[in-house]
Structure 1
């Protein structure tokens, strides 16, 4: 451990690891560069926003049988939000990164330059990159700026440092191509390889407690905690830090609270709202865990305005984020996957050895209305491309936009279960969850009866009775054939 005085304010600055090149003074935010036993003041860096993350400097864990300690972090902002990159040092003197984004965690280790990487412009979501005999799929492509730093770091970084990164996945394996330092002299990006992890699997020690998170989330040292909409003055429904992008339910303004004050990003006139059963602030007890609705989004198909649904964002201090979807065919409990299926095509998906047939052809969707707090920026008019696959009570969904591809798994939930979770008695949907196709089946039988009522009397007086009955039977079968096919997919 190397101790020195901050060249700017004189406070003690610690370098716990020999691999650290830079340390941020926790008192004045000066960047202190270490060169042998000398230090240099490189100017200040922005303070990090304390968010919902349980990680903190000094926490320790184990990855792949190797003990590590969290030494520092940088906070990166992109167009729709921000995430943390935690710098971790291993007991053997090597280092890596623990990415923390929307409650998902990825550990990556540096492998040097990626000699076979294509140009930055050639990679897009769902593209392919080969490494170590394994095909990785591009799941995220971002340009982000460093807005804050804390603790120790392995290289010089400051406000305005721009990161150009491409994230790829193969099952639970995770890979990052970092194009930030690509130049005329260094033509290839840095390569980092690791895997998506559950925090519990890292055997973490000295994490922040729930009380610590609740007390500090959304605060910057010395800054006021803003909870009023800067456009209309209405109270914002949830504290910043847990989710830094807010949408005012009163005036529709998009408000960013990831800095030291709330900023109005965009103003909207209030869009038409469809009926939503739940609202921001509603609480639910689900399998012993208390969840709170912090945001809701009204969605519709781009080519069918009558096909609409509501997505509720739920949050718990320990479990992170989940989604609850209220659609025309009932309710679904949704978890974003931190891994990719084994294989997929337009016709089916395989996850954990289970085959999911296509439920619907691919379709587009757009945001009609949003209110509450989100961990990314959501705007009216945002569009995504969706594909759904169904097996029994589970649905796999793939959501793609220009910057990322996200897989999620949804489980059917009954009206009665929703009522029990939220302590409500008036939970309703257009038809009971789990009775997929019941409305269509009812209509099919109704039109079958009409068909028979019209054609049977005609057939009795026709010259070709057998032929008339034959064609009537064919028409009736055609009405029911799509429903029978759908049932076969779920078996």
Structure 2
């Protein structure tokens, strides 16, 4: 991959300039730093472009990696600066010799693959981010307009603008509603189109990184003369001094005071380190933010930094904490003011709040220009414990952040501090159980219970073990003597038996007292049944009540030999006496009543749990103007 495609001499120091790719144009001399530009068929010439001589970035010329199964090597970069921030366009040469860009900055990574022809779209008509349009027939949203104010170079870099290299390009980032992302970079009439493939640091499998110790950028507060070190420079362009001074990077590269903050105190010490979600962070900034609603609510926000993963934020309100990071791939909801909810990756996110905010107190360093006077507009959509936040801090940028609830105790362990306890239900505090999961668990438990019931109730074939016909041999109306059956076996570990009685009663009744007696232990199980049937004719209508048979189930009889003891009685005043009663005993019968009883007991837990979840969710939405609940004030 490292084949030399051109050897030249530096215009300033005569050092050798070795181009690896035939498609690259920029080359910064490794000796003196002079930046050269190579035209087609012409030797490189010196250009008045600043070289990047020192860097704390992990990626460097010579870094290798893999993307979509193909190896690549980093050749160099052009770093574009904007009014608020910067971005690195690293030139990477794939194993097949093709070059493309790896965009990187603030912990966001994406491969940019050039395609042509560029979409036929008039970019000059766009005035602000969030506008909707169509790109190649696909509904799209303009998420950012980035106008470069300058650039620097390092190593060997690819230039897509040719003769217009010395102009400052404008980058338009579009999110298509089908989930694709494209960037259109333009200089005058030249438009370069790129497919944007977002990826993570881990996915790139980068090696040969810059592992040198970070050299902080040193500045001096022009209010208190305090010496300050910025560990995330050049991405950090704002600093709040402990004296209250607001320092922001000016166009000449100097940090100058622009107003002052009041005193504030961070619950976690600046410079503290801790591991969150497997990432080792340094806490570099702390701010108090206030919204512009009628409540003027304030919350605290902590800026975290990792050299590879970039920035993350910890937000705390009333003791509840949220961990969030900016995302390049996000739901496309910009400039949709009426939207109240959306589905993303099979989760429904509902609008919780809409507000503007600004920083009212701060200390430490912050990415970009953080201390603007204007309010940053924000919308928050929640699906506890997750949240999508959309922020617009200018007319040219819409940013998306994925937030997640994080337990206070985990932060205390990570940073070795004591933090304020929760004062109320947080908007992302996880529910005891998700309602859908509750329904699923209940359904599965009911199926398991049904399966156990069917298996236990039918461990064998339903079998008749006793069938007897008893009658009265003596005078009508007297109680029959005690009748004892022959013995029979119940073989199962636990047996369910059904005892049924039939008698041809007519406007009368028959009673039967039974005892199932274990012939080996003498243990008896008593049971009484009554059979009664009455009928007549009254007010022109026939009526009847009762039945000529009755049955009951006895459950849980242990295995053994049994006999049935029976004593019958009947209505002595009946006009028609019963002369015979039929008694039947079956084993291995299903006992549905037990199933329904257990099912009822089983449902107590999900019902109580659902009420708990409902009450907690109602408390969660109490502070929202978009609550689906009503409250008694």
- What is the CA–CA distance in structure 2 between the aligned matches of 1:320 and 1:372, rounded to whole Å? 16
Pick 1 or 2: higher relative contact order, CA cutoff 8 A, min separation 6: 1
| TM-score when normalising by structure 2 | 0.61
Please give the per-residue CA displacement for 1:151-173, whole angstroms capped at 9, x wherever unaligned. Answer: 22333699974121111234763
Structure 1: stretches of 5+ with no match in the other structure:
219-224, 438-479
The aligned residue for residue 9 of structure 2 is: 5
Alignment counterpart, residue 96 of structure 1, candidates 96, 100, 106: 100
Q: Using the TM superposition, give the Cα deviation of residue 285 of structure 1 relative to its aligned residue in structure 2, in angstroms.
A: 3.1
**Alignment of 1:147 onto 2:139:** no
- Find the aligned partners of 2:344 and 2:428 in 1 and give their Cα distance: 24
RMSD: 3.4
Matched, 1:42 2:46: yes
Asked if structure 1 preserves the Cα contact closer than 8 Å seen for 2:232 and 2:305, the reply is: no
Is residue 186 of structure 2 the alignment partner of residue 179 of structure 1? yes
Corresponding position: 1:396 with 2:388? yes
The answer for the alignment partner of 2:85 in structure 1 is 81
State the partner residue of 2:134.
130
Q: Which residue of 2 aligns with 1:462?
A: none
Find out whether 1:366 has 2:368 as its counterpart: no
1:301 and 2:291 aligned? yes
Residues 307-386 of structure 1 correspond to what in structure 2 (within 5 A)? Answer: 307-328=297-318, 330-341=320-331, 346-360=339-353, 362-379=354-371, 381-386=373-378
Alpha-carbon distance in structure 2 between the residues aligned to 1:159 and 1:110:
17
Cα distance in 2, alignment partners of residues 29 and 392 from structure 1: 52
Deviation per CA, 1:249-291: give whole Å up to 9, x if none: 22413143998xx623342133364x64234223323355432
Report deviation, 1:46: 0.7
Q: Quote the residue 1:206 is aligned against.
A: 208
Residue by residue, what CA displacement relative to the aligned partner does 1:53-91 show, whole Å, maximum 9, x if unpaired?
321112223333443322221111111222211122233
Q: More strand by proportion, 1 or 2?
A: 2
- 1:165 paired with 2:165, answer no
Are the structure 2 counterparts of residues 382 and 4 from structure 1 closer, same or farther at C-alpha, using a change threshold of 3 Å? same
CA gap of 1:299–1:127, structure 2 versus 1, over 3 A, is: same
CA distance in 2, matches of 1:140, 1:435: 28
Residues 31 and 44 in structure 1, CA contact (< 8 A), matched pair in contact too = yes
Question: SS state of the match for residue 124, structure 1?
Answer: coil
Query: d(CA) in 2 for partners of 1:3 and 1:367?
Result: 53
Q: Matched residue of 2:409: which SS?
A: helix
Aligned partner of 1:414 in structure 2 is: 407
1:268 aligns with 2:269: no
Change (3 A) 1:117 1:38: closer
2:11–2:45 CA contact under 8 A, matched in 1? yes
Give the distance between the partners of 1:64 and 1:307, measured in 2 at CA. Answer: 46
Secondary structure class of the residue paired with 2:358: strand
Name the stretch that deviates more: 145-154 or 121-130. 121-130
Q: Which of 57, 71, 74 is residue 67 of structure 1 equivalent to?
A: 71
Cα pair 1:109 1:192 within 8 Å, conserved = yes
Q: Judge conservation of contact 1:341–1:352 (CA < 8 Å) in 2.
A: no
Q: For residues 362 and 619 of structure 2, what CA distance do their matches in structure 1 show?
A: 37
Look at both structures and tell me which one has the larger radius of gyration over its CA atoms. Answer: 2
Shift of 1:247: 2.6
Answer yes or no: is the 8 Å Cα contact 2:78–2:154 preserved in 1. Answer: yes
Aligned-pair CA distance for 1:316: 2.1
Distance in 2 between residues matched to 1:66 and 1:357, nearest whole Å: 40
CA contact (8 A) 1:29 1:44 kept: no
